[in-house]
Structure 1
Amino acid sequence: MDASVEQRTDRLTAGEDLLAGALAGCASRMVVAPLDVIKIRFQVQNEPAIGQVMRSSASTAPRWSPYRSVLQAVVRIAREEGWRAFFKGNVPALAMVAPYASVQFATFYQLRQQVNSWRGDGDASVQRYMGGVETVACGIVSGMAATLCTYPLDLLRTRLAAQGEPRTYHGVVHAVRTIGRQEGVRGFYQGLSPTLVEIVPYVALQLLIYEKLRHAYHTREQRRRRRRGGEQAVAPDTLQPVESLIIGAVTGTVSKLLTLPLDNAKKRMQVQGLLQQPRRYRNTWDCCVQVYRTERMPGLFRGTVPSLLKAAPASGIAFLVYERLKAYLLRRKAPRAAASAAPDAGMRVRLGP
């Protein structure tokens, strides 16, 4: 097989990256939707708008802390709102996560290929691993692009998941109309600044840690095979399902823990418009300062347990599904490319730029 064919069949097109990323994001979202609702409730329960809703539904609840543990939160939500409450905000979340994940994955891996072409590392065996600075830069750009494309849906997801009973919004359409009428277009971008501030370290850490762990895994596997006398090394983009799940889970847990204060600030700013409460926070810094003054460090890390319980499976499943779909698409492409490059084809197929 011609070398140019090998290069083409060892990478996905932009469209295939978009498809794999979208399906991976949706699969991950469906599994962790209940954990996301619990996480958001913990993060914003000290906000006046949320507290007012909770007090109206249960006068005996603590003033600002209706949820004290994950188990207690699960029992209370199920008792007061029913099992459907664990999927509040899931419609806008799914509408968000498909384009978000597809844009993030596709942008990152297309940028990675472009960087390697600039460096002259066109060989498929070389292009898989970039330096730390390059990985971080590609991660930041991909994360910001995905955030800007989908932010209004993220805000809708947060507000729908945060509200208890009685509801402020009676569905996605009602939420869009209410926010547009009461807050205008700017209302759909409440909390955008802390989101962009958070996404830079979060996505950079997530992709950097994942790439480094994956590289370390392949290096170990190649050394093990050489010791056994095997000639064939592990393909650079091949991860077994268990390895994909574990590496993805570790990646998500570490990244979320290191950026949790910024995620808390984002969620608090996103729910400021509930019940037409006046804005408490002017910007990300003001939010973090006020939270620290009134709640100290626990306030900045509120919801750590449900956040990590969600981050581990969410990241693990997303990377697992993405890796499996990518491997499947590459396997389908290889026979077609080989047939096109066969000697009896009568022509030489030019692939790549």
Structure 2
Amino acid sequence: MVLGYDPDRLSGSTFLHHLASGTLGGIVTRSVISPFDVVKIRFQLQSEAGLARRYTGLIQATKVIFRDEGITAFWKGHIPAQMLSMVYGGVQFGSFEFFTVVVHQLIMHSKQETMKQMTTHGVCGAASAVVATFASQPLDVLRTRFAAQTEPKRFSSSFRATTYMVKNEGLFSLYRGLTPSIIQIAPFSLVQFGSRSMFEAVWLSYNFKEGSACEFVCGGGAGLFAKTLVYPLDVVKKRLQIQGFIAPTVSEIQNYTSFIHCFKTIWRHEGVMAFYKGYKAAALKSTITSGLVFATYRFFRELLEPLRTGNR
């Protein structure tokens, strides 16, 4: 097992090694899943309060975006999104590995049973996700606003968008949606990391080999399971992040005063199924993303290991 602290694997890996592996994995993952993210965000931001729906299905939405905005539209906001993945992936895996070492030292046992390992990985995954979210939230807000823009675009660079937001909306506009982000990401990562360990144990019980295939399958299943549970919080987060945005977007922007107000308004005016807008794109994206995240982290960690040990 490569993920998490293992007393039987005394490689002496460092925080920087984990940070670099998570960062490189984030770059590869983001490049692949960006189109799914753009489609998902378009659905999440689409309000049905008195307006005809522009997007009615996954394939239809893909065709409309391609027809009206071109192929590059599927990578709108890719620079802040790429920066987001780099920061989030690096900080998350770096802090996750650190937390698993701390937990092992506190519990003082030499070998973790499957249930203990699931619990440890789940708790450490949640804690590391919270740390990574604080570090990357401004980039997430920028990514959402760029992905929401239609033509003509108001912002052409992350610097201009950041400058405008700070000047006209205040510094804390960069942290819009932080509350639902934390509320969403903590249980998501708890379930994701914990269930990944469970799926890995099942995988190995059938005498399948460890490796990238194991990480992709187990990580992908964990991502799908976790996303299904917490998806409504992601919709609320996206609606809050778009507040104050005056550029042309995919739908009329509704005004929300808080997380609770946003949740109640969506429930009252759009119904419970509105909390699963864009779910198909999100489920597909989450499965692929989670699988790639764990597979690429393992790949780069093993790739960088000889370089790291060779420089000691």
- Scaled by the length of structure 1, what TM-score is found? 0.79
1:37 correspondence with 2:38: yes
Larger Rg: 1
Shift of 1:178: 1.6
How far is 1:288 from its partner?
A: 1.3
Tell me how far apart the structure 1 counterparts of residues 31 and 280 of structure 2 sit (CA, whole Å). Answer: 20
Paired amino acid for 2:223: G
**Residue 261 of structure 2, aligned match among 278, 286, 299:** 286
**What is the CA–CA distance in structure 1 between the aligned matches of 2:112 and 2:223, rounded to whole Å?**
26
Contact kept, 8 Å, 1:152 with 1:188, in 2: the verdict is yes
- Root mean square deviation, CA, Å: 2.6
| Correspondence for 2:180 among 194, 203, 206 | 194
- Superposed counterparts of 1:7-46, under 5 Å: 9-10=10-11, 12-46=13-47
SS of 1:169's equivalent in the other structure is coil
Q: Which one of 282, 293, 296 corresponds to residue 318 of structure 1?
A: 293
**In structure 2, how many angstroms separate the alpha carbons of the residues matched to 1:294 and 1:329?**
52
Task: State the Cα distance separating 1:64 from its structure 2 match.
Answer: 4.3
The reply on whether 1:154 has 2:155 as its aligned counterpart is no
The CA distance in 1 between the partners of 2:69 and 2:244, in whole Å, is: 22
Matched with 2:103 is 115
Q: Note closer, same or farther for the CA distance 1:177–1:330 as it changes in structure 2 (3 Å cut).
A: closer
| Deviations, residues 238-262 of structure 1 (Å, cap 9, x unaligned) | x222221111111111111111100
Structure 2 gaps, min length 5: 1-6
Partner of 1:88: 76
**112-121 or 321-330: which moved more?**
321-330
Residue of 201, 207, 229 corresponding to 1:258: 229
Match of 1:309 in 2: 284
Q: Distance in 2 between the 1:218 and 1:333 partners?
A: 29
Maintained 8 Å contact 1:9/1:330: no
> Do 1:11 and 1:330's aligned partners in 2 also have CA atoms closer than 8 Å?
no
Deviations 1:96-135 (A, max 9, x none): 11111111111111111121122223x4x64997444433
CA distance in 2, matches of 1:299, 1:128: 37
Higher mean alpha-carbon deviation, 241-250 vs 143-152, is at: 241-250
Contact 1:12 1:326 in 2 (8 A): no
CA–CA distance in structure 1, aligned partners of residues 9 and 205 of structure 2: 24
Question: May I ask how many residue pairs the two structures share in their alignment?
Answer: 302
**2:55 counterpart of 1:67:** yes
Aligned to 2:220: 249
CA distance in 2, matches of 1:216, 1:10: 26
**In the alignment, residue 145 of structure 2 is paired with which amino acid?**
R
Deviations along 1:281-300, one digit per CA (max 9) or x if unpaired, are 22222211110111111111
Closer/same/farther in 2, CA of residues 126 and 104 from structure 1, 3 Å limit: same
1:140-168, CA deviations, whole angstroms, 9 ceiling, x for partnerless residues? 21011000011101000000001111223
Shift of the alpha carbon at 1:330?
4.3
Aligned residue identity for 2:92: Q
Q: Distance between the aligned counterparts of 1:259 and 1:249, measured in 2?
A: 16
Match of 2:157 among 171, 177, 181: 171
2:124 corresponds to which of 138, 143, 156? 138
Secondary structure of 2:39 counterpart: helix
Q: What CA distance in whole angstroms lies between the structure 2 residues aligned with 1:7 and 1:328?
A: 20
CA distance in 1, matches of 2:106, 2:192: 24
Alpha-carbon distance, 1:278 to partner: 8.3
Aligned partners of 2:62, 2:69: CA distance in 1, in Å?
A: 10
Aligned mates of 2:241, 2:226 — CA distance in 1:
21
Q: Distance in 2 between matches of 1:200 and 1:100?
A: 14
Question: 2:19 is matched by which residue type in structure 1?
Answer: L
Pair 1:7–1:74, CA change in 2 (3 A): same
How many Å apart are 1:329 and its aligned residue? 3.9
Q: Distance in 1 between matches of 2:9 and 2:62?
A: 49
Q: By how many angstroms is 1:47 displaced?
A: 7.6
1:285-342 per-residue CA deviation (whole Å, 9 max, x = no partner) reads 22111101111111111111111111111111111111122233446667x69xx9xx
